[in-house]
Chain A
Amino acid sequence: MSIDVGPVADFEERRFRIVNAGGHELGVLRWQDRFFAVHNRCPHQKGPLCLGIVSGRLVGSAPGSMEVDDDVPVVACPWHGWEFDLERGRALWEEGYAAKVVPVRVEKGRVLVDVGRSARDPAV
Chain B
Amino acid sequence: MYSGPVIDGDVHHARNNDAELIEYLSRGWREYVTGRGRAGMVPLTVQDGMPNPHGFMRANTYPEGGGEPGADYPTLRAQLLDASDLRRAILTFGDDSHLAGHHNPYFANELARACNDWSIERWLTRDPRLASSIMVGSQMPEVAAAEVRRHATNPRMVQVMLVDNPLGYGFGHPIFHPIYEAAEETGRPVAIHGGAGGWANPSSTGGGSVNTYFEAHTLWPQAIQTHLVSFIAHGVFEKYPRLRLVLIEGGSAWIPSLLWRFDTEYKGLRREVPWVKRLPSEYFAEHVWVSSQPLEISPKRDQVIELIRSMQLEDKLIYASDYPHWDADEIDYLSTRLPTEWHSRVFFDNACRLYGWKPEELKKRVPVEERVT
Which A residues are closer than 8 A to B by beta carbons? 44, 53, 57-67, 76, 80-83, 91-94
Provide the bound-state CA to CA distance between A87 and B278, in Å.
Answer: 20
- Interface residues in B223-250 by Cβ distance below 8 A to A read 234-236, 238-239
**B residues within 8 A CB of A76?**
268, 271
Provide the bound-state CA to CA distance between A67 and B236, in Å.
Answer: 19
Provide the bound-state CA to CA distance between A59 and B273, in Å.
Answer: 8
Q: Let me know if B30 is at the binding interface, CB within 8 A.
A: no
Partner of A81, one of B174, B238, B271: B271
Provide the bound-state CA to CA distance between A83 and B266, in Å.
Answer: 10
17 more A-B contacts (CB under 8 A) besides A62-B235, A83-B271, A94-B279?
Answer: A44-B267, A58-B270, A58-B271, A60-B274, A62-B238, A63-B174, A63-B235, A64-B174, A64-B235, A66-B274, A76-B268, A76-B271, A80-B267, A80-B268, A82-B268, A93-B266, A93-B267
Q: In the complex the two chains form, is A59's CB within 8 Å of B239's CB?
A: no
**B residues within 8 A CB of A62?**
235, 238-239, 275
**B residues within 8 A CB of A94?**
279
In the complex, how many residues of chain B place their beta carbon closer than 8 angstroms to a beta carbon of chain A? 18
Partner of A64, one of B267, B270, B271, B275: B275
* A81 (CB) vs chain B CBs: closest residue: B268
* A94 (CB) vs chain B CBs: closest residue: B279
Q: Let me know if B83 is at the binding interface, CB within 8 A.
A: no
Q: In the complex the two chains form, is A59's CB within 8 Å of B274's CB?
A: yes
Partner of B234, one of A53, A63, A91: A63
Q: In the complex the two chains form, is B274's CB within 8 Å of A93's CB?
A: no
> If A62-B235, A63-B235, A63-B236 touch, does A93 touch B270 (CB 8 Å cutoff)?
yes
Q: In the complex the two chains form, is B267's CB within 8 Å of A82's CB?
A: yes
Which of B174, B266, B270, B273 has the most C-beta atoms of chain A within 10 angstroms of its own C-beta? B270
* B263 (CB) vs chain A CBs: closest residue: A93
**A residues within 8 A CB of B235?**
60, 62-64
**A residues within 8 A CB of B19?**
none
Provide the bound-state CA to CA distance between A83 and B161, in Å.
Answer: 37
Q: In the complex the two chains form, is A93's CB within 8 Å of B279's CB?
A: yes
Chain A proximity of B83: nearest CB distance (Å): 45
- Interface residues in B137-153 by Cβ distance below 8 A to A read none
**A residues within 8 A CB of B275?**
60-65
- Interface residues in B114-143 by Cβ distance below 8 A to A read none
Provide the bound-state CA to CA distance between A60 and B236, in Å.
Answer: 13
Chain A proximity of B268: nearest CB distance (Å): 3
Partner of A60, one of B268, B273, B278: B273
* A59 (CB) vs chain B CBs: closest residue: B274
Provide the bound-state CA to CA distance between A92 and B276, in Å.
Answer: 11
Q: In the complex the two chains form, is A81's CB within 8 Å of B239's CB?
A: no
Q: In the complex the two chains form, is B269's CB within 8 Å of A58's CB?
A: no
**A residues within 8 A CB of B278?**
93
Provide the bound-state CA to CA distance between A76 and B271, in Å.
Answer: 9
Q: Give 29 CB contacts A-B under 8 Å.
A: A44-B267, A53-B271, A58-B270, A58-B274, A59-B274, A60-B276, A62-B275, A63-B174, A63-B234, A63-B235, A63-B236, A63-B238, A63-B239, A63-B275, A66-B274, A67-B274, A80-B267, A80-B268, A81-B268, A81-B269, A81-B270, A83-B267, A83-B270, A83-B271, A91-B267, A93-B266, A93-B267, A93-B270, A93-B279
* A61 (CB) vs chain B CBs: closest residue: B275
Provide the bound-state CA to CA distance between A65 and B266, in Å.
Answer: 17
Contact mask B171-202 → A, CB, 8 Å, 1/0? 00010000000000000000000000000000
Chain B proximity of A43: nearest CB distance (Å): 11
Chain B proximity of A75: nearest CB distance (Å): 11
Provide the bound-state CA to CA distance between A80 and B328, in Å.
Answer: 43
Chain B proximity of A46: nearest CB distance (Å): 16
Which of A44, A53, A63, A82 has the most C-beta atoms of chain B within 10 angstroms of its own C-beta? A63
Provide the bound-state CA to CA distance between A58 and B235, in Å.
Answer: 15
* B278 (CB) vs chain A CBs: closest residue: A93
Q: Across chains A and B, which 7 residue pairs bring their CB atoms closest together, nearest first?
A: A60-B275, A81-B268, A63-B235, A60-B274, A58-B274, A80-B268, A82-B267
Contact mask B256-293 → A, CB, 8 Å, 1/0? 00000000001111110111101100000000000000
Provide the bound-state CA to CA distance between A109 and B302, in Å.
Answer: 65
Chain B proximity of A62: nearest CB distance (Å): 6
Chain A proximity of B112: nearest CB distance (Å): 26
Chain B proximity of A93: nearest CB distance (Å): 6
**A residues within 8 A CB of B236?**
63
